[in-house]
Homo-oligomer: A and B are copies of this chain.
Amino acid sequence: MIEITDATVLTRLRDFLATAALPDDGRLPPERELAQSLEVGRAALRKALATLQSEGVVWRHVGKGTFTGERPIDTVADINAMVQRTNPLEVMGARIAFEPEVARCAALHATAGQVAEMRSCMLKAQQAPTWRQYEQWDNRLHRTIGEASQNSLLLGLLDTLNAVRRAVTWGRLRDTPLRPPADHHSFEEHARIVAAIADRDGAGAADAMRRHLRSVESHMRDRL
């Protein structure tokens, strides 16, 4: 067996990468297979791959394979991982940071139909006979505001945030009054948010949402 230098292996690998027809996800053949087809040993190939990985040309993962390009951040938006890592106060903090900006975008982009739906959700929340149904309409209202931003990515992030929020607060049954009291603070706060959005007042909508969420946060702290 003629001795093959590290440089030769690296050159063959680069040539391979420059010419091979790879699948869409940029996945290379398995090391054992690639070593064979390049006529080099697996250990030498692994050395060359390590070099390319340090240059950001490829990335490798046990059990998955070897891929061209930079290693993606592991954000397979894993909701369960987020739920394990966070807590109710963080959730409130994230909501206070994020949702006013969603409301701001909604004020600039909402359709008349969406504003009408916000009003409908708001009224139904007020008339809800049980807490559970109140929360259904509350959720519907907040999501309609996200839809009204006309930005599917913002909506996706809002949905992610809400999924985490529900999981974090899961099991917290309200064994208190059957339904929200008539003077439930959120009613007036919802009305202010929706009015600002209807008025196309971005700053007003963001401010009203921020006040609403700080109010929710304050009530939440009272219950701890």
Q: Which A residues lie at the B interface, using CB under 8 A?
A: 24, 56, 70, 72-73, 75-79, 81-82, 85-86, 90-91, 93-94, 97-98, 101-102, 104-105, 132-133, 136, 139, 143, 149, 151-154, 156-157, 159-164, 166, 171
Contact = CB atoms under 8 A, between A and B. Distances in A.
A126 to B, nearest CB: 18
List the 3 closest A-B pairs by CB distance, nearest first: A77-B77, A75-B159, A77-B160
Given A136-B56, A151-B94, A152-B85, A163 B105 contact: no
A93 B93 CA distance: 21
B70 A152 contact: no
Nearest to A105: B97
A73 B163 contact: yes
9 contacts: A72-B163, A75-B160, A77-B79, A93-B154, A94-B153, A94-B154, A97-B101, A97-B102, A97-B151
A132 B54 CA distance: 12
Q: What's the number of copies of this chain in the assembled complex? A: 2
B90 A152 contact: yes
A90 to B, nearest CB: 5
A67 to B, nearest CB: 11
Nearest to A75: B159
Given A70-B136, A76-B79, A97-B101, A161 B153 contact: yes
Contacts of A162: 73, 75
Given A56-B132, A97-B101, A152 B79 contact: no
Contacts of A151: 86, 90, 93-94, 97
A153 B90 contact: yes
Contacts of A98: 98, 101, 154, 157
Contacts of A105: 93, 97
Contacts of A160: 75, 77, 156-157, 160
Contacts of A143: 73
B163 A86 contact: no
A77 B153 contact: no
